[in-house]
Structure 1
Amino acid sequence: MRAVATNRAYAVRIPAWSSDRLRVLRLLLALCAVTAFFATATPARAAEATPVTRAAYLADRLRENPVHVTDQLPREISRSTAPDFARLAKKTGVPTYVLVLPSQSSTDGKQLLGAVHDRLGRDGLYVLVDDSAVAEATAYGVRVPADAASTVAMYELPYDAGPLRSFERFVDVIAQGGEKATARAEAARETYRDDEPGEMYIGPSDRRNQSFVTGILLTGVPLLILLVAGYAGRRRRRSGAGGRVPRWVAPGAAVVTAAAIALTATVVFDQTRSSAAEPPTPADLSARVDRVAAGLKKDPVYADPESPRVLDSRQSDRLHDRIRDFRRSDGGGPVYVSLVPQTPASESAGDSWLFAAAVHAETRQDGLYVVADPDDGTIDLYNYGLRIDADRLSFDLPDAVTFGDSRADEADDHLLGERLDTLMTFLDKAPRTDRPDFESRPAAAPKADEHTLPPLFATDFWPGLFVGAFAALLLSGVVAGGMWIAGRLLRRRDPTPEPTDLLPFTAPTEPSASCLRRTAYTELTTLISEFTDPDDRTRAWDHLDAAMLLVDGDPDRARAAGTDPATLVAVIVLARAGRAALADDADDADDADDADDADDPRHDLCCGVNPLHGPAASRHHVRVSAQGNSRRLLPVCEPCRDTAVAEPGGIPGRLLKLPDPSLGNSRVPYYDATDGPLTAVPHGIARLIDKVRETAGVH
């Protein structure tokens, strides 16, 4: 019985004890299972999701090659320039490590270089170059004038010199040594304290201005030469000064001037590029897209390792979870997030739409592509193949998500983690459609060689041609108007103008018929108007009477077409002599000597070389033909007398020549061109008057 009781008691106690143990055991097994799950799953994902720090990534790149050129600036400085940086770095004489990164990376350049040095563990000169110049330089374990070299490169070069030229200047100063480098830095700081060097390159607008100025000069100056030459030629012909200038001189000068302007413009405006950047290769333009696409194939969130970290581990894990949940949701799909800066120097020229399209084409995976810029904090979303309402994505996405708010502007990370989480919430609630939606094709990227300037003789060169022609015409009109106004003002300022000054005195060598008609009519009508007493029978009356006989008593016939040029010359000579006689008679201050001068027979003579020259000063044997040595005794004015003495061969060019009807358009000396009264000019005005009266049958 005891045994049975004992066994029964044991049997009763065993189930109670086993039930408690089983509960504990089950709980322990459950905890072990959970622990095993997180031990096998979570650490592995955390290891994959933990980003490599920027300093560690850059240190690895320098471990592979002492010069690392980013793939994010192909339009300003391509990766193919790495050998040039390496060649220059050898001139420093110490181990030199060069990082060429976007400018946003240089905001904490000294700390970045220090962190990279600690990761790399090698002493030397560490240089950070951005997309324009040397941004920072620090020496670790070596003695080089890094600060002085940075100062020289900053002050001596203009801002558009380019990063490669800036690094070259930096290296040259390093090679000079400490004392010379310090002195050069002080000199550069003093020289360019208030002003910086002039720009090395011009922009497209500057080239258009150059083309415009070239066009203006190319038409304005030659046309102005032609206009001025034509005006001067007319003045020369009217004044009778010297011989005629060959017709080809003015056009030839205009053509030579145009050629000189074109040649000079090509030499002075010889710029061909607007930047120091060399054209990128196709590999340079595709390097970053390939890198981002490869990263997105492994992880839907790609953070640019060269940029500051904007997502911490917690934010990154949550974003991964939200992306996974959205992919599994009804109507959802893949989401690819690129935390990559979009700069104008990138392959897409800062266009996130173009960048997303290129990445999508490379990954060949449909989904929502999110481009988050860690530099300016903008977030852009593009749909390739998901059934999400396109209008909702385009118009309903809050600006606080796309551009951020004031808090995001003040934060270093632009609150991208928080805003991306809000974006995923927005996507979870976005309406689905029956058909997948695809982004349209973005505009093409700017050409790779966008820094090449247009040709000089293009763009605004053509408008410049028209403006130059208009300016030449306008300037010539202004000059003519100014000369006319100046002449009027000078005549008004003279209170007692001489009668002979009231008309322009013209003495052309080969006058045209229109010029003779105009001058004859003006001189004759002026002489008539100066007669105050019609009954006064002075010498001037004899001149007027003879002139009126030549035009049959009608002054208007002097300007009528068809009047003989020799007759017109005789009218001009008689009218001018009559006006001179009136001036002599009106001079009440004449003394006895003046009266003797009036009776001088030479006073009645006019120049026999060209009667339009006016009164003669003496008689002289002059050469009247360019061929041979034929001479005639003629009365000559003072200029002709001086020419006959100093240069006898110049007299034939000063002879008045009139058309000879028997020889067509040829011209001969006036005394050979007619057998009328004009032939009497060499014998004096009185003989001319007698000859006119004899011809008219008046005694």
Structure 2
Amino acid sequence: MRAVRTNHAWAARIRPRNNGRTRALRLLLALCALPAVFATATPAHAADPASVTRAAYLADRLRENPVHVTDQLPREVPRSTAPDFARLAKKTGVPTYVLVLPMQSSTDGKQLLGAVHDRLGRDGLYVLIEGTGVAEATAYGVRAPADAAVTVTQYELAYDAGPLLSFERFVDVIAQGEEKAASRAEAAREKYRDEEPAEMYIGPSDRQNQSFLTGILLTGVPLSILLLSAFARRGRTAKPALRLLVPGAALLSAAAIALTAPVVFDETTSSAARPPTPAEMSARVERVAAGLKQDPVYADPESPRVLDARQLDRLHERIRDFRRSDGGGPVYVSLVPQTPESESAGDAELFAAAVHAKVGGKGVYVVADPDDGTIDVYNHGLRLDSDHLSFDLPDSLTLGDSRADEADDHLLGERLDTLMTFLDETPRTDRPQSEPAPAAAPRAADENTLPALYSTDFWPGLLVGAFAALLMSSLVAGVTWIVRSLLRRHSPVPEPFDRLPFTAPTEPSTSYLRRTAYAELTALSAEFTDPDDRGGRAWDHLDAALLLVDGDPGRARHPGVDPATLVAVIVLARAGRAALTGRAANLCCGVNPLHGPATHRHHVRVSPEGVARRLLPVCEPCRDTAVAEPGGIPGRLLKLPDPALGNTRLPYYDMTDGPLTAVPDGIGRLVDKVRETAGVH
């Protein structure tokens, strides 16, 4: 409204000579002020400055090209697919504007499309594709059944159909017209209300199963024919023709299986994604690095703004002060989402290392995710204690607390300011320190390519098939195997420890924990025969485990011991046995302590609702799940029964304040916690 105030101030200094001229002058001033009023009015669909800024950037991209494909999803939607989206968009019959963006939990699709339309100022069909499919669509000034088309794509297609096929189905429904589109949407809603469409692609594990089955059939069927015919001929004299027929049938069956299997199992890819080019894989890193060379704080323009002007100025001031401090240096803050579909496969450490390589300067590289609110910090070349940065950062800073989870901006401005204070107080070292080179992300070209059918588990399948055929040659062996299986299944006595599998159920029964704890502790006590080992690590583990059961391994089988204590006994006993064999590991998997030793520390999602995460040590399978499918981690958490809550099960670290809560901090801390609880020093 600055223009309006200026005109009014200018008019106040003019003395009217007569009423007619005064009225004319006022009318002229009012007309002059109207453009300023409309220019500064807030659009109806842009509710806050952050969404306006994001909408303005996206509107500029659509002004250049009606299809904008983000550079943040090269593993799922390479930017080279933009011409395909444009070709499909022409089939709608109306001007169509397409935005392909990362999926973000805080995004209101309709509000974003409305704000972009207001900024672009062009009528047409606006479509938002988030990650794997059409998420939202709105028609402005044109007739198009946008809502019905979105409903059809979301109900008719499997989740792995891919964004291009999803948009193609969307366009087909738009072309049908409003009446047919509405009818098709209702039919899709009714058909798939209680069931999901079948998946369109298989994964690597499915291919391994196919290879394994092919190998079993390729040896099992021919050998079974030969062995069964031998049983049938026992004691009889067969004709020469019959003796040739059986090997021929076996050979023919093997050939039929070998030729048919590739036709039946003809899948070659595990996703609809196309392999990206090297340029597409490096585009986002280069964009962020170029921005950081101009400004030490880079906010992703495709994401909602999480820092207001005051917070941004404050962060710049803190960064300048740290750079001038003793032992300080540059700080580069990237406010960029980290998704599994990105070039770094969602690994913030890998992303920071790539950005550091492009920026080319030493400094502290901070990766703050505006979507889930996590903050990761990496030192590259400054005289800072990297261990302090890695292990002493509080969870409330890196992951946020309940207040941060509830806030749209995850309180990133406040938490980044706290981070700068933490950096100021970080101990300095004599020499510069740097993070070790992270493991490379999976190659995008190979990530969605299935292995050949005659590879991986095909070779073990050949052996299993031969073994299965041999089993059928002996009825006695088969009966013996069945009897042993039944006895083993129904026997209440646990098997000896050397045959006890390291199973890791997520919701173990109390009886299972009692049997396993007793077997583990008994085995450790029996193996600990050298008195010279007292005082060593194995002895510490045995001593702590015995403290939990009052020195009597048999007490582990009594009803008085709670499930959390039983899990602690199992973890300590297994760690002790590993120490006796020289395979000691200090960290145990924090997702499920029954998984065994941990190999990494990783921020993992611990709740199916929200984005709450914890930094936990994880075993190799849990790390793979955390990177490839973060939402699968809550299902792998060890949940124990709480007698106070009936049948309710809680994560092991939430249901007790006993020693088991120390598991994420290492076996050594678990031993100390047990001794502290027992009053032993």
TM-score of the superposed pair, with normalisation by structure 2: 0.61
Structure-2 residue corresponding to 1:214: 214
Separation in structure 2 between the aligned mates of residue 318 and residue 481 of structure 1, nearest angstrom: 76
Equivalent residue number for residue 454 of structure 2: 457
CA separation of 1:105/1:95 partners in 2, compared to 1, >3 Å: closer, same or farther? farther
Amino acid paired to 1:455: A
Q: Is the 8 A contact 1:272 1:452 kept in 2?
A: yes
State the one-letter code of the partner of 1:177. Answer: G
Secondary structure of 1:103's counterpart equals coil
Q: Contact between 1:68 and 1:98, CA under 8 Å: does it hold in 2?
A: yes
List per-residue Cα deviations over 1:216-249 (Å, max 9, x = no partner). 1111100011112222333542xx8xx4434332
Alignment correspondent of 1:400? 396
Which residues of 2 match residues 48-447 of structure 1 at below 5 A?
53-104=53-104, 107-234=107-234, 236-237=236-237, 243-447=239-443
Change (3 A) 1:481 1:268: closer
Give the match's secondary structure for 1:53: helix
User: Counterpart amino acid of 2:397?
Assistant: V
Alignment of 1:470 with 2:447, yes or no, is no
CA pair 345-383 structure 1, distance change in 2 beyond 3 A: same
| Aligned 8 A contact 1:106 1:128 in 2 | no
Matched with 1:621 is none
Question: 1:134 & 1:235 partners in 2: Cα distance?
Answer: 70
Q: Is the 8 A contact 2:50 2:304 kept in 1?
A: no
Paired with 2:193 and 2:393, the residues of 1 have a C-alpha distance of: 49
Checking the alignment, whether the CA contact within 8 Å between 2:220 and 2:466 is kept in structure 1 is yes
- Residues 51 and 481 from structure 1, CA distance in 2 versus in 1: closer, same or farther, beyond 3 angstroms? closer
Shift of 1:52: 7.6
- In the alignment, is the contact (CA less than 8 A) between 1:216 and 1:469 conserved in 2? yes
Residue by residue over 1:573-625, the C-alpha shift from the partner in whole angstroms, topping out at 9 and shown as x without a partner, is xxxxxxxxxxxxxxxxxxxxxxxxxxxxxxxxxxxxxxxxxxxxxxxxxxxxx
Q: 1:318 to 1:52 in 2, by over 3 A?
A: farther
Judging changes above 3 Å, is the alpha-carbon distance between structure 1 residues 337 and 182 closer, same or farther for their aligned structure 2 residues?
A: same
Distance 1:149 1:360 in 2: 44
Cα separation, 2, equivalents of 1:66 and 1:85: 10
- Say if 1:97 and 1:127, in contact at 8 Å, map to a contact too: yes
Are the aligned partners of 2:144 and 2:177 in contact in 1 as well (CA < 8 Å)?
yes
Q: Contact 1:366/1:385 (CA < 8 Å) preserved in 2?
A: yes
Alignment map for 1:539-688 (pairs within 5 Å): none
Question: C-alpha distance in 1, partners of 2:159/2:106?
Answer: 16
CA distance in 1, matches of 2:157, 2:88: 17
Q: CA separation of 1:275/1:51 partners in 2, compared to 1, >3 Å: closer, same or farther?
A: closer
CA–CA separation in structure 1 for the residues paired with 2:477 and 2:324: 87
Check the 8 A contact 1:100/1:129 in 2, yes or no: yes
Counterpart AA for 1:380: D
Q: Give the counterpart letter for 1:156 in structure 2.
A: E
| In structure 2, distance between residues paired with 1:187 and 1:384 | 57
State the AA in 2 paired with 1:119.
R
Deviation at 1:481, TM superposition (A): 8.3
Displacement of 1:130 in angstroms is 1.1
Secondary structure of the corresponding residue to residue 200 of structure 2: coil
The answer to whether the Cα contact below 8 Å between 2:334 and 2:366 also exists between their aligned partners in 1 is yes
Which amino acid is the alignment partner of residue 180 of structure 1?
K
Q: CA RMSD in A?
A: 1.9
- Residue 197 of structure 1 and its aligned partner are, at CA, apart by 1.3
For 1:356 and 1:398, how far apart are their aligned partners in 2? Answer: 20
Separation in 1, partners of 2:260, 2:478: 32
Q: One-letter code of the match for 2:420?
A: M
Give me the whole-angstrom Cα distance separating, in 1, the residues matched to 2:377 and 2:265. 45
Please tell me whether the aligned partners of residues 51 and 304 of structure 2 are also in contact (alpha carbons under 8 angstroms). no
The alpha-carbon deviation at position 167 of structure 1 amounts to 0.2
SS in 2 for 1:380: strand
SS in 1 for 2:181: helix
Please state whether the residue corresponding to 1:195 is helix, strand or coil: coil
Residues in 1 aligned to 2:153 and 2:389: alpha-carbon distance in whole angstroms: 48
The aligned counterpart of 1:600 is: none
1 CA distance for matches of 2:65 and 2:186?
A: 34
Distance 1:336 1:470 in 2: 60
**Distance in 1 (alpha carbons) for counterparts of 2:156 and 2:370:** 33
C-alpha contact 1:105 1:308 (8 A) present in aligned 2: no
Three-state SS of the structure 2 residue aligned to 1:180 is: helix
Amino acid in the other structure paired with 1:149: A
Q: Secondary structure at the match of 2:229?
A: helix
2:234 & 2:392 partners in 1: Cα distance? 78
- C-alpha deviations, 1:43-94, integer Å up to 9, x for none? xxxxxx9998100000000000000000101001111100000000000000
Hey, what does 1:639 align to over in structure 2? Answer: none
What SS does structure 1 have at the residue aligned with 2:474?
A: helix
Unaligned residue ranges in structure 2 (runs of 5+): 1-48, 480-681
CA contact (8 A) 1:52 1:305 kept: no
Q: Deviation per CA, 1:86-116: give whole Å up to 9, x if none.
A: 0000000000000000111673000000000
- CA distance in 2 between counterparts of 1:71 and 1:387 reads 34
Whether the 8 Å CA contact 1:50–1:313 is kept in 2: the answer is no
SS at match of 1:167: helix
Name the CA distance, whole Å, in 1 between partners of 2:346 and 2:368. Answer: 12
Q: Is the 8 A contact 1:160 1:275 kept in 2?
A: yes
> In structure 2, how many angstroms separate the alpha carbons of the residues matched to 1:410 and 1:145?
35
Aligned equivalents of 2:183, 2:228: Cα separation in 1:
58
After TM superposition, the score normalised by the length of structure 1 is 0.60
In 1, distance between residues paired with 2:176 and 2:133? Answer: 20
- Structure 2 CA distance for aligned equivalents of residues 255 and 469 of structure 1: 15
User: How far does the alpha carbon of each residue in 1:510-542 deviate from its partner, in whole angstroms, 9 at most, with x for none?
Assistant: xxxxxxxxxxxxxxxxxxxxxxxxxxxxxxxxx
Provide the secondary structure at the position in 1 that maps to 2:473: helix
Residue 476 (structure 1) shift: 3.2
Q: Is the 8 A contact 1:334 1:368 kept in 2?
A: yes
| Residue type of the alignment partner of 1:364 | G
Paired residue secondary structure (2:108): helix
Q: Distance in 1 between matches of 2:61 and 2:474?
A: 71
Q: CA deviation at 1:391?
A: 2.1
Q: Distance in 2 between matches of 1:216 and 1:72?
A: 43
In the TM superposition, what is the alpha-carbon distance from 1:467 to its structure 2 partner? 1.2
Distance (whole Å) between structure 2 residues aligned to residue 300 and residue 155 of structure 1: 44
Instruction: For 2:123 and 2:463, locate their aligned partners in 1 and report how far apart those are by CA, in whole Å.
Output: 65
Question: The residue matched to 1:292 in structure 2 has which SS?
Answer: helix
Gaps of 5+ in 1: 1-48, 483-699
Give the conservation status (yes or no) of the 8 Å contact 2:215–2:462. Answer: yes
Q: CA deviation at 1:474?
A: 1.6
Q: Deviations over 1:385-437 (max 9, x none)?
A: 11112222122222211111121112111111111000101111122122111
